[in-house]
Amino acid sequence: MFRNSKRGAEGFTLIEVLLAVALVAMLGSVLVMNINSLLRDGELETLEREYWRAVESARSGAVFNQQVHFLEWDGKEQRFLVRSAGETEAFEVDTSSMGDVEIEVFFEEVAPENSYVLIAGELVAKREIATVGFYPDGTCSPYTVSMKIAGFETNFQMDPWTGVQLVDPNEDEAGI
């Protein structure tokens, strides 16, 4: 009961090798795209972290020193500035790991609900402003902030009474 079969050399066929190479290449490209996205998200988080540090400094400085503090963005030096009575505190955005990336930050004044402001013959609900005021009673100017870095952007509206981010009631609450 001997079988007389010739077995060929065992190994992978050309199609199997090509499929394996294609699969590895596809997974590699997905990984590279996700790493780039994660790095950019980290840059946006760095920008937001410095923004919130500046907001806290401006708000607490206004309350404890009983004088108005102003928050602004210095695009040339890529930093947030908190100014009050001749003093300036800077909150640098660490761009050393980002390379040559452009950062944009815009503050816009928000008109009260259901009202508009007439600017150059046009009715608008928002207009760009250079600084945001934080007052001794703990309030701030009603404004929105938009931040853009390397193609990623975020924007949100600030509550003038509490100085924190307003949450959109229509936003999905699946994470809560």
Transcribe 67-107 into DSSP letters: S-EEEEEETTTTEEEEEETTEEEEEE---TTT-S--EEEEE
> What's residue 60's pLDDT?
92
The structural domains of the chain, ordered by start, are: 14-157 (3.55.40)
Helices (H), the chain: 14-65
- What pLDDT band is residue 73 in, cutting at 50, 70 and 90? very high
Task: Specify which of 90-94, 106-110, 143-147 reaches the highest per-range mean pLDDT.
Answer: 143-147
- What pLDDT band is residue 161 in, cutting at 50, 70 and 90? confident
> What's residue 119's pLDDT?
61
Tell me what the mean pLDDT of segment 59-77 comes to: 92
Q: Which of 52, 51, 34 is nearest to 104 (CA)?
A: 51
- What pLDDT band is residue 175 in, cutting at 50, 70 and 90? very low
Q: Of 29-43, 46-60, 125-139, which gets the smallest average pLDDT? A: 29-43
| HSE (side-chain half, CA atoms, 13 Å) at 61 | 20
> What's residue 150's pLDDT?
73
The reply to whether the predicted model has a pTM over 0.75 is no
Higher pLDDT, 89 or 39: 89
Q: How far apart are CA 96 and CA 42, in angstroms?
A: 13
> What's residue 98's pLDDT?
61
80: which 2 tokens?
Answer: 């947030």
Q: How far apart are CA 5 and CA 128, in angstroms?
A: 83
Q: How far apart are CA 161 and CA 138, in angstroms?
A: 7
b/e per residue 107-136 (b: at least 16 CB within 10 A): bbbbeeeeeeeeeeeeeeebeeeebbbbbe
Residue 50 has pLDDT above 50, yes or no: yes
Mean pLDDT of the chain: 79
Q: How far apart are CA 54 and CA 36, in angstroms?
A: 28
Residue 69 and residue 63 in contact, taking contact as beta carbons nearer than 8 Å? no
